[in-house]
Amino acid sequence: MQSNTGGGGGYYPTTTTTTTTNTTLQQQQYEYQQQQQQNIECYGCIKAWYRTKKYLNIVSDKLSTFSMECSTRANKCGTWLCSRTNGGPQYHNPSEKFENSLSNNGPVTNSSASSPCGTGTPTKPSVVIQHGPGPSPVSSVSCDETEPPPKNCYRLVVLGSARVGKTSLVSRFLGGKFDDSYTPTIEDFHRKLYRIRGEVHQLDILDTSGNHPFPAMRRLSFLTGDIFVLVFSMDSRESFEEVIRLREHILEAKMSAIAASGNRAKKSFPRVPMVIAANKCDRDLKTVSIDEVAHYCASQGGAVVYVEVSAKKNLRVEDLFAELFSCANLPLEMAPNHHKKVNTTFGSPCTLPPHLTSNRAKKCTLSIKRRLSDACGVVAPNVRRPSIRTDLRIMQNKTCSTSDGEDGNASSLLKGCTIH
């Protein structure tokens, strides 16, 4: 052992003291690193817990909404089953059917309830339209005025890459709302009903996913769609290239379906109403130029409309759908600000108000726009997506109608469009 002696003969063990100090510093440094590692792991656990809690809240909201829809549909199915009879009169409630079944003389048809005036005169029992459980609302009362004819049923398909604002545009169209939070869309289905100039129109909206998890379902949406909105972001060039590919795939799918139906004489691509929506035009950084998009639309023979929009700022969203409906030769009153919006309660069977002829005094107080068409629209509150079998039948009917040159749906009413 080395030692250091001074003038007084003292003894100083310097080497041992230095070794002990270094060992203590290393131990403290190791403990500090362990503490930092534990803090990082703890922070990661807390962050993961908050993320899990957020997704659990979303799942719980979805489950509560689904349970409410299931209970509403169960009530409707029960009402529908109670109103069914084998050729007999229709009853509005089960008690009336039970009381008439106890009578030995058969169902009573000359009661005051069967007469609209309540005079007790024998009249023909009132006919109630029966609807099976399905996508359309079910009711035990006559709702034939809200049933659109097949020629007035259209399907709008919204396509594009992920995170370009497809769902935001649909939310602006349906309710004028915008949500800053982002939730990946698998597939959302909406339905809006209109009454325009005395006729009922139905618009089904299919909000698709940008990740294409199911290619077969994606191709089926191409075939069942009547009108399309292709969305890309102005700050993403890849999304614009995806829009170009989507248009080509839609035309090829339509063409192959027509060829498979037996009409091989037609070699040109079908004219499908489309609008290319350049979303996020309010941002300063843009990787896609306006001239490039306009040049592409001009090269398509005037069958594509290009509109710059911003779902966040609500810029030209009205013009987007107005141009789409004009391109598809649909009523312009279907645009968001061209009809009166009707509020409905959850589970309401008849969503549209009854069509009433206004008197002369009321007609004089209306504006010129409302005199021409007192249109109204409502979003169906409890609608579900049609089954794949129904979509296949719709695809077959539309393909046959298009190949035969009929004018029964929106696909046969295609017109040339101009660039805006």
Q: How far apart are CA 217 and CA 190, in angstroms?
A: 17
Q: Which residue has the tokens 């969305």?
A: 231
Q: Which residue has the tokens 């203590």?
A: 24
* CB 156, CB 222: distance < 8 Å: no
Six-digit token string for 89: 């009169």
Q: Which of 253, 191, 244, 192 is nearest to 221 (CA)?
A: 253
Q: Would you say the C-alpha torsion 170, 176, 182, 183 has a positive or negative sign?
A: negative
- State the CB neighbour count (10 A cutoff) for residue 115: 16
User: Could you tell me the CA-to-CA distances from 333 to 59, 274, 324, 341 in Å, in that order?
Assistant: 37, 18, 12, 11
* CB 316, CB 326: distance < 8 Å: no
Q: How far apart are CA 382 and CA 191, in angstroms?
A: 9
* CB 279, CB 286: distance < 8 Å: no
φ/ψ of 296, rounded to 5, equals -65, -45
φ/ψ of 168, rounded to 5, equals -65, -40
Six-digit token string for 4: 């250091």
Q: Which residues pair with 199 in a beta bridge?
A: 196
Give Rg (Cα) of the chain.
33
Six-digit token string for 141: 């009362």
* CB 304, CB 276: distance < 8 Å: yes
Q: How far apart are CA 135 and CA 118, in angstroms?
A: 36
User: Could you tell me the CA-to-CA distances from 121 to 96, 112, 126 in Å, in that order?
Assistant: 19, 7, 13
* CB 85, CB 107: distance < 8 Å: no
Residues 6+ apart with CB under 8 A from 381: 344, 345, 346, 347, 348, 351
User: Could you tell me the CA-to-CA distances from 52 to 58, 184, 307, 314 in Å, in that order?
Assistant: 10, 16, 39, 32
Predicted confidence pLDDT, tens digits, the chain (420 residues): 444 555 555 555 555 566 777 778 888 888 888 787 777 777 777 777 777 877 787 877 777 777 777 767 776 776 666 555 444 444 444 444 444 544 444 444 443 333 334 444 444 443 333 333 334 443 333 445 678 898 999 999 999 999 999 999 999 999 999 998 888 888 899 999 999 988 999 999 999 998 887 888 899 999 999 999 999 999 999 999 999 999 999 999 999 888 887 665 455 667 899 999 999 999 988 999 889 999 999 888 777 889 999 999 999 999 999 999 999 999 999 998 888 888 776 555 556 766 655 554 444 454 555 545 688 999 988 888 888 888 888 888 877 766 555 444 444 433 333 334
- State the CB neighbour count (10 A cutoff) for residue 8: 5
The pLDDT of residue 90 is 47
Q: Is 147 helix (H, G, I), strand (E, B) or coil?
A: coil
The pLDDT of residue 241 is 95
Six-digit token string for 342: 């009707």
Q: How far apart are CA 342 and CA 377, in angstroms?
A: 6
Q: How far apart are CA 236 and CA 369, in angstroms?
A: 40
Q: Which of 101, 82, 78 is nearest to 92 (CA)?
A: 82
Q: How far apart are CA 367 and CA 358, in angstroms?
A: 13
φ/ψ of 389, rounded to 5, equals -65, -40
Pairing of strands 304-308, 153-160: unpaired
The pLDDT of residue 190 is 94
Q: How far apart are CA 203 and CA 333, in angstroms?
A: 12
**Helix 166-175 to helix 317-327 angle, to the nearest 10 degrees?**
90
Half-sphere exposure of 11 (CA within 13 A, CB side): 4
Q: Which residue has the tokens 């922070």?
A: 43
The pLDDT of residue 269 is 64
The pLDDT of residue 62 is 76
In the chain, the amino acid numbered 224 is: T
